[in-house]
Structure 1
Amino acid sequence: MRLPLTLTVSATFGLAAIFSLAAASLTATVIEDSSQSAVQAALDKQGLTWSETHAEGLNVFIAGTAPSEAQRFIAMSTAAGVVDAARVIDNMNVTATADLAPPKFSIEILRNESGISLIGLIPEASDRRAVLTKLRRIAGSQEQLADFMETAAYVTPKNWPQAMNFALAALEDLPRSKISITAGEITITAMTDSPKERFDLEQQLRDDKPDSVALSLNIFAPRPVITPFTLRATLNDGNLRFDACSADTEAAQVRILQAAEQAGLTSRKDCTIGLGVPSPKWADASVIALNALTNLGGGTVTITDADISLVAAEGIDAALFDKTVAQAEKSLPEVFALHAVLPVVQTDGEVDLPEFIATLSPEGLMQMRGKLGSDLSSNTVASYAKARFGSDNIYDSIRVTETMPNGWPNRVMTGLDALSTLHHGAVTVTADQIRVSGKSGHQDVGARISQLLSKRLGETQQFSLDVAYDERLDPLANIPTPEDCVARIQAAQSEVKISFEPGSGTLDAAAMPIIGAIAEILDTCGELPLEIQGHTDSQGRESMNLALSQNRAQSVLAALRDRRILTSAFTAQGYGEANPIADNKTEAGREANRRIEFVLIQPEAEILENSEVSDQEGLENKADKVNEDAADTSSAAQE
């Protein structure tokens, strides 16, 4: 029996379809297996053994946990090198990263004449507001404060508070400085005015440094600019005295002092090293001039920049004078010029020379007598003297005469300038010399006057000095310590109390004398960090007492400011009834507790050390208050 043709054809096509599907399925499986195997082999070859692969159709899936994003990227790149990148499916995870390490906290503080600037990152717990408050107090009203500081909420590093507190305390004594602060380490770069100041500052910083803070110091003491560059020495009876001495190097200083010692120097044995020397041969010229003075046996020598004035003592042999001057002129370096004078002994009957004399008393009164050439010059000198010494302190007995030498008013005013550098003394001006004598509170008074006269008198440069330093007149030596100032204020208040109108923050009239006395004490103390504290008794509400004490402390601060006391470093703080010094149950005790105190502001480190004690005292005071009679705490304030 033959099958129909239609059925035969259909069966043939059906069998072909079945065989095609089977072949396609087998081919897909082979592709999947080969792709998965090839990709896995490539990953293993790269050392990415943490990865797992499987294939679905033409797509290859990569799974597993990558140690990092970089390893994940390498796995994707490796697979894309084996099969088409579009067929690679990323099912990988990445190991969670550890918490970010805290940032390195650091800050730089720069202070100069224009103000204080700070930049850096500090922990949020450092209390940025407190830091800025202290810096504003240090800057005062004359300096600007530029804040570029950021904060971060991370754990405060160990030793950061100690380093920060020490740096802020040190900044008060460093007007030209840069301070770099990290946790437990501080680097200070600063400038001082003299080597001695540098030594004292370094010693103080090392003494105040906390043990937990490492300190690196770069303190510089630039040499001063000396203008004019001056050396002046007087030789009398075998004793040499320096009124001024300058040197450009340490080696030059040694040479000059050795020559001076050979000439008879016994007192002052120092020579200021500075900038502004007119010639590298300064030491040569100075030694030659000192040797010439020694050979003469008496007189003065003054070197002002490159001009040398040698004035022999009266009675020196003319032949010796000529020989000495000739030898000095031949030996001097080219840039230096020597002007030598042999005074002529005056004989009886010689015409009286023009003379001007001014004296300054310890009380500041100045008297002038002598001669001037015209009414115009007389008025000019009188006005100049009033500007220098005060219009109410001048007694004038000047005579006008027409026979005065040229440049006389200039010599007189130069003498007045020299006299103004003294606390008390006298100046005598003649046609060929200016003589200055007196006492001063400045150690370098001789050098100051020598430089002034040398610059103003010109080539002759003939003057004599007899000035001395008196420590009792030194304003710096007599400034009391902050502790002494507070003790004097406390002594003044032990006799008279600062009083206020009842229940008010207004000072009453009886308080004015004690406020004036305290102002006089503070006027001699200079600037010091001071807290004016207001305290009350326990009568009335606690909040009312706190506000009242603040108002009273503020009133005292304002009263001192009105008396032109420098109060930029002062703060006014009310403490209410929190710190009694006597029993509030008695009238005498309450009267004692109503008070104003002046307390030195301690450095931050000392405050931290004493905080535990203060907290304990506060708790004890709180306990005492709770135990007080309710009737006492509810009555009205009796101030």
Structure 2
Amino acid sequence: MPSSRRRLSAPLTTIVVLAGVGGLCWWGAQEASAWIEQRSREDVTLALSTAGQDWVTVTTDGLQVRLQGTAPNEVERFRAMTQASSAVDASRIIDEMTVAATEALTPPEFKIELLRDDDGISLIGLVPASTDRADMVRILRNETAAPKITDLLESADYPLPDGWEAATEFGIRAAQMATRAKISVGPGWVKVSAITDSRAEKGRLETGLKQAKPDSVELETDISAPRPVIAPFTMRFTIDADGAHLDACAADNADGQARIVDAATKAGIEGKLGCTLGLGSPSPNWAEAVVQSIGAVADLGLGTVTLSDADIALTVPAEIPEDRFTEVTGRLEQRLPPVFSLHANRERPDDAPQGPAAFIASVSEDDVLSMQGRIADARMGEAVDSFSRSRFTAVNSTLSSQGDVPEGWTLRVIAGLEALDALNSGTVEVTPDLVTLTGTSGDPHAPEQTAARLGARLGAGARYDLSIRYDRRLDLALDLPDGEECVQRLNIIMSESEIGFEPSKSTIAGDPEATLARMSDAMVDCNEFQIEAGGHTDSQGSQGFNADLSRARAQTLVAAMQDAGIDTSNMTARGYGESQPIASNDSEEGREENRRIEFRLMSPYPVRNEPLAAPTALSGVTTDKPARDSGNSKLAPDTGDTGDSVEFEGPQLPTITTTSAASGMVPATVGVSEEFQTMDEREENTRLPVQTPDATTPRPSPRPEDELQAEEEDQNGTE
């Protein structure tokens, strides 16, 4: 019996032990499951709460995490799933969330911004979920040479707004056309803000956008271009019986433009005023000079002021009292910034007694001469006109023939014109007592040489007042190239260079060091000109891609020039793509010729990097002390009692005697320079005929010495 109990107790003990172990395992599993559920619920709840997704209810069932609740929109539902996935494995999440009815919600503002620069194109914004973003990226990649296309768009599940598709297609087209731009696209509208390389490119882009725009899309553009070079820098302001007028206006910056417009408005101009922003100002203080000049005319109440670079001409009618004219012009001269020079003139009343004889002439940069004033008679007027036409490209004359001029008047007039001819631009005023000359020259010694020339022409005792500004760009001794020569140099270097680019890329292939060194030498005296580096390709590839590739290659070359130490501040890059072939694209040789970079001059006028130099003033009385030397002329100041006079050293000058047309005048002896005589001999075969009012056939123009001899004979005959 005992043995039987022992046999039964062993299995029972085993069963009890196994049951205990099983119970413990079950209890442990339950505890582990509860801990996992609690931990998962806490982690997901914390992630959603941190993201502001408090509308989501989180429940757990073992390893499963259920998300429930009503999302405000599809975007928020998607974001809730994303946040929950950051806390637990996404495979454990069960989405039981709902989205609020679409018709009960306000649709979001769909908008795309395409940002394009040299680094590529970025797409930013919110688009409807049905928008084919991949197709947008594909079109931009295939139709442009942008190095990178970045898609940063988000989408929302809403119906397409009216006008969205047409606006999107046009926006992509605009991104292909504008290489540096921000294109904003919304339902039914597109706004393009872009920067172009030139005013011509600005016009082409604006025209292209208008032509490509669908009728259903509204277009707004804000396109800027580099400022033009204005030469000369000009402003003209007038107050007359009809009121105030701003006939011409240039400004060098926006602040100066605002100051000029404000001054003109205060002076009496009504309505919207225009003042062109440009390059080429003669001084950083241009706006100050303009404002002060306008203010002077406003103070006088009548008159005209004209600024041409640093020269200011103020003319007022005779009705302005003399003392008032003197007061205002004196104050203006004191307030003008350095460099600017003032020439003020008060007209003579029509009924006033005849004043002293006066002759005024001015020559522009394009060599056009304008003359006004008195001359002895019609015959002497023809002589002066003939002389002028032999020296200047065109002549506008309003000379009046009057007999009451002093002795030697024609000679004084010709002396003034001869001195004016030595300047690039300027004005000469001749009176019986003084010769006044102002202007610009490329000769640093022009003031001294002009004084010597006047002394050689007029003899001793002639008073002069000179104010001549030196411009190194006009100095023939420096042999500075003009804009066309600069561009020609660069194009020759490019045609002989080994610079190339990797296929379908803007990366320079090979070593450009030798070519860049030659360009550096060529650009030493050319950095003041606006020059365009234009890239060209063959016809392989799409038009948009080729346009971008050619522009990128031109930009790469300009950047390489800058890295080599070349001043490229006035150089721009533009891509022409395949639009301007110089050979056939049907052969490899022709395509290779079409793949090129050409330089083009944007403006013949240099951009002034430094203000104009102040004019050199020289006043005094001429002397007549010719000396024999080796034939070269030297100018030296005289320290005698005549003041700031100038000696003329050179060959002995012959003299002639002239007398005034009026009886009783004492003859005067004046010097006639050898240069003047040889000039006449040199130009004898190229004289222009002079037409008299009743002439039917041209007659030979008199030589200047013949003119003077004729005047002498007439005067002697009169006596």
TM-score range, shorter chain: 0.3 to 0.5
Of structures 1 and 2, the one with the larger relative CO (CA 8 A, separation 6+) is: 2
User: Higher helix fraction: Structure 1 or Structure 2?
Assistant: 1
Give the structure-1-normalised TM-score: 0.36
